[in-house]
Amino acid sequence: MELKAKRTLVKSAPELWELADDPDRMEAWVRGLIDSAEPLAIEVTGREPQRMLAWRAAGAQIAIELAESGFGTAVRITAEHAQSDPEQAIRTLEGLLDELGSPERRPFAGA
């Protein structure tokens, strides 16, 4: 089943890219999507820096698209998986958007 979530976040594409392009975070997002606590091997299937990132693991696929939008960045997340509870999966995708947009997530703080 394919699910989508979209939101405009008040962060730049480079900030969001730094947060999304993190193998540990990608793994955690897939684990949340498929409701698994087990470690997963992530395979990146598409990468256009600051525009699109796609990966898969354990039969699930996630793609994040970034596009400038006014004072922020439009973020679209598409996920495909066989989870039987689509409402839970949508909540998971909305949680990913919450995490990306969180003011506490500051990718360049250590730079």
What whole-number distance in Å separates Cα of residue 42 and Cα of residue 10?
Answer: 28
pTM of the full structure:
0.85
**CA angle 6–12–95, rounded 5-degree value:** 35
What whole-number distance in Å separates Cα of residue 67 and Cα of residue 100?
Answer: 14
Structural domains of the chain in order of their starting residue, each with its CATH number: 2-101 (3.30.530.20)
Core vs surface per residue 46-82: b (16+ CB within 10 A) or e? eeeebebbbbbbeebbbbbbbeeeeebbebebbbbbe
Cα–Cα nearest to 59, from 41, 75, 77: 41
Per-residue pLDDT of the chain (111 residues), as tens digits, is: 888 999 999 999 999 999 999 999 999 999 988 888 899 999 999 999 999 999 999 989 999 999 999 889 999 999 998 766 778 888 888 988 998 988 765 544 444
Q: How far is CA 33 from the centre of its chain?
A: 10
What whole-number distance in Å separates Cα of residue 59 and Cα of residue 31?
Answer: 11
